[in-house]
Structures are given as structure tokens and as C-alpha cells.
Chains A and B, each alone.
Chain A
Amino acid sequence: MDSALNIIVVEQDRERAMLIVDALREAGQMRIQVIGSGVGLARRVAETRPDLVLIDAGDPSRDVLEELTLAAGPMERPVAMFVDRADQGLTRAAIEAGVSAYVVGGLQPARIHPILDAAIARFHLFARMRAELAATKAALEERKVIDRAKGLLMRAKGIGEEEAYALLRKTAMDQGKRLADLAQAIVTAADLLR
């Protein structure tokens, strides 16, 4: 008997999808199919007849899968969101990592655990990457605002770049403010007064 599990990973981003698939393969024998989260998702999931569906908890298409959990849904086997009462820890870990699992046909918890563990680890990595990207973007934005504030000071006071920056830093320190916040206040005020 073929006991390899059929798993669907719903993920639009190919690169992320491949990373998830790689992580899952290490967790055991299974057939994995990746489908995008766009239009027609419910139909494609139903056609593939999976045992388990994994999806980013923040994907808007989750509500489409939710529809499959209804008794009269297009799947013959019942689908449930994975909430293992015996293992609150695993459920919480999945929520924190931002991965949702939909279990089809009452799959044994023992078979789900290793897969979900692998998925959780991978999604944690994604969350870290996302946080780093956001931090980099924010730093870049702050840089731009500080540069604009510097430029405004240089023009208004007829001073050089270094002097303008020193003035910004000193004022921020004196007022107990973040440099970026002070710069934003100057830029906003200047926009208003324009």
C-alpha cells in the first residue's frame, strides 16, 4: 500500500515554495504539490485530493480553504483546520510562525507532527527574513528623511552639510528624541509652511 502523504503547499512565491518543499522532504516520504493562491484555488485543491494543505496564515486565500471545511464543500472527505487539542504547544507554535495547516480526512496526529514541525521551522525563517527586510526598508526611509531635513536646514540657515547634521544630532539629544523623528518633524513642518 502506498502510504506517502499527499501534501499541497499554497504559495504564490516560487522561491518560498521551493524552500518549504525542501524542508518538508527532509521530514519524510511524501508527494508535495505547490499551487498558487490566486483564482480557482478551491477547485484545484479539491481536484488534487490532498491529505494536508499548508498555507501562510497571512494569505488572504485562507478563507477559500475555510470554505472547504464545510460539510457540503466540494471535497468528499472532511477538512478541518489543524487544532490538536492534545498538543496546544504545537498549535501555538504554528500560529506564531504564521503557518496554517488544513487536515483532510482525519489524518493521524502522529503523522502530522513531523511535517508541521518542519513547516514551522521554515516559516520562522521567513518571518525573520521579512522582519530584516522591513528593518532595512525602514532604515532606508529614515536615511532619506534625515537627508531631506539636513537639506532644509542647510538652505534655511546657510550652513554646510556637516554643520546641519551636527545641529540635528544635538537638538535630538537635547530633546530626548530619535534623530529620525526630529527629521520627520522638520520635513512635515516645512511641507506645511511651503
Chain B
Amino acid sequence: MMRETQHHRNMRPMAVDLSPAPGEKRILLEHLGVQGIRRISVYESKGGYNALKKILEKKLSPDQVIEAVKGSGIRGRGGAGFPTGLKWNFVPKDQSKPHYLLCNADESEPGTFKDRVILEHLPHMMIEGMIIGAYAVQAKKSYVYIRGEYTYATKIVEEAIKEAYRAGYLGKNILGSGFDHDMFVHRGAGAYICGEETGLISSLEGKKGWPKLKPPFPAVEGYLKCPTVVNNVETLAAVPWIINNGDKAYSGIGTEKSTGTKLWSVSGDVVRQGVFEVECGASFQTLLEDCCRGMKDGRKLKAVIPGGSSAPILTAAEAMDMTLDYESIASKGSMLGSGGMIILDETRDLVQVLKNLSEFYHDESCGQCTPCREGTGWLMKILHSFTEKQARPIDLELLKTTSNNMIGRTICVLADSIAMPVLSYIEKFPEEFDRYLSESSGQSSLSEKLQAKELL
């Protein structure tokens, strides 16, 4: 649902720091500060569309493009972190059915707003990446599935696509190569689930945004039952740089398994919130101290949600010990996810935070699979009983069992997206829950104790 206030806020461009913060390594955002960079002429003057020209003029084969992207080691920036080149390679080489490329611009994970910077300021970089991606998987049509609330970004992208058509980068026989490609913008209607790749496909097909059962995977049977690649905005925007500078240049940045740079959208209790491009493998302190200038009002760090609200929470100690790459964050029991980092200071009540999140996931569950449809509501209600100080001691166990029975039991990962945080909050901050329990009137009766024994 588009809320009035949200809507108005999105009518304006998001404020960004045009010059890099200390600690940043800008390759995607290199030209962010250039006046008028969202216009095609300015973008071209900074080397824009050179990657596409290079491919089409040098007659690189689609496979060569895929190899380059594979070689760069770039992984999907939407959340799952799946190697992009590999994903493209799964698309069948024959053309018995049309192929499609979908750009997932339905950025709706709480805490995540990094794609918005690209959509609003560097749309041509994404479009160029999409055309290259489409060429690699031989798709004649692509869609930008853009979040409904991103009204301003939609206008920018639509305008940019028109410019690209006029410049001959889209349409028939692009740059005389014989390659045809059409690009469309499709606005979502404000459902979080439509950011899930198969939910997105259902929605684009004009259906209710229900994720689809896998297998078959979209690369084989996706949009309109045709081979389809769904990539995140940031992933596609990185493609021109990789083509221009070579896969080795990209894989030379970052760590061995997490190559390149990552955009982080940092919110919460820091001095300067915003979107920062940081080399993979940089320390958490680089982001916190250099980019965000440390904690707000000199308060102490309590917890970090590293990769969007569905990522399990980390304690301050764990966060301080991690580096900003897929492996390091995973080793702490969380995930890099979308790079939507939420910083929580010592004044934050994590039970309230979790209750708030549970409301979001309850609201956004599509209702298709039973464990998610029912579980998200149940978790929310139990968490309410905590914050209303009516929880029973067994409710803590019940939260855990409910969560454990949601994880991995559904078509998509929305259930996991709240169940895993619930488990991590309880595991890492048990004292926060105990405080509510001790203040709760919900003394469990004898029969409830018996029930608990039987159930657990």
C-alpha cells in the first residue's frame, strides 16, 4: 500500500552525497557527482555506452560476455548472492522460445535503498547493463520491474529509456549489430513479495504476485513460461564497468569469493546515514567510522542488522569483528543480503524492533504457503504479547519452535525472512526478552506447563 507520506517523499529524489565519503571506493558511483549524469549526453561523455559499443562493434559473442561476467566473480546484489555469470549460463542456448531479461527494481526490503541511487541518478548505467545482459542471454525484451512507491525514480528511468531509444541503443538493429532489443518499465503495486524473483514474474504476467514453485527455475521456465533472467539493479549496473575494465580488474577488487564493490545503505543510529560504495572485504569499522562518521550522539553500538531486515541480527562484538563480504558475515551467522544495514545503539529495545519487523512480514506474506501465512501472524501476535507484557514463559520457546517450523518449509524465503531474525534476536539478546517476561503478568498456569511439556 502506498502511504500518503511515503508517496510524497518518493516524489522527490533521494538526497545523496555527491562526493565520496572517506573509506568509499566508488566504481559504480564514480560519476555520481557529475552534474546531469542522468542525461544520456553527460553519461556518454563519461564513457557511457562504451561497454555496449565494445561488445557490438567488436562482435563479441554472447558466450564471451557471459565468460567475462563469470570471470569477474560478481554475485547477485539483490540478496541471495548467486553468481551472475552462472545464472546467465543456465539460460538455454536455443531460441525455441523467446528469452527475457527482468531487472528487479522492486527494492522493498526494510533498510534497503541502495538501488534507488542508481535508478534516480545513474539510470543509463543500469540500462546499459541490461542491454548487455539481454545480449548475453539473447533476450529481445526486457522489463524494469520498479517498486510502485518509487514514483520519481520511475520517471527518471522512463525518460532514460526514451533517450536510449533515440540514441539507437535500444530498438531494432542496435548500433548496426543486427541485435534487436526493446525495454519496458513495469510499476509494481507496492507488494514486498513482488521483489522475490518468481513473485515478480507472476506479477509481471498480470497475476497475483505469488512466488512460483521451483523447479522449474526461471532460467528454464520463467516469464510466460519462457527462459528468463532476473537480476538486481546494482548487479546489472556493474556490468558496463566489468566489460570496460575487464573481468580481472573487477575480480581484483574485493576478496577472492566476494569480488568488486558493494553498495551499502546504512540507516539507524549513525551520524551520517546514506548509501556508500565500499570494497568487498573492507572492515565494518570503515563503513561505521569513516563513511558514517561513527555512532550518533556518542552512544554505544548494541546491534547490527547487516543485510536488510531479513538478515539475522549481530551483536556489537560480532559486527566489530566482521568484514564486509559474503563469507565473513555468513560466518557470524547472518548474511550480506541486500546490503541494507541497520545500526542500533544501546537505547534501542530489540523486542520492539522485532515486533515491528514481524508486523511488516505479517503484512507482506502473500498467503500462499500455510507455514508462512499462519506463522507470520502467530509470531507477530506472540511478540505483541511480549510488548504488551502478557507473555508466558513458554512463549519464548514457542517463538523458537514456530520459527524453526517455518524455515525452509515454503515456496519462497519470506517465512525465513522473519523466522531467522526471530531466532537470532532470541539467541543473541535473550536478556531483552527476559526483561519483558519478568514484567509480564502472563504467569503460565499448571495446565499450560503441562501443555508445554507435551508440545516441546
Check if A and B associate: no
Q: Which residues of A are at the interface with B, using a C-beta cutoff of 8 A? A: none
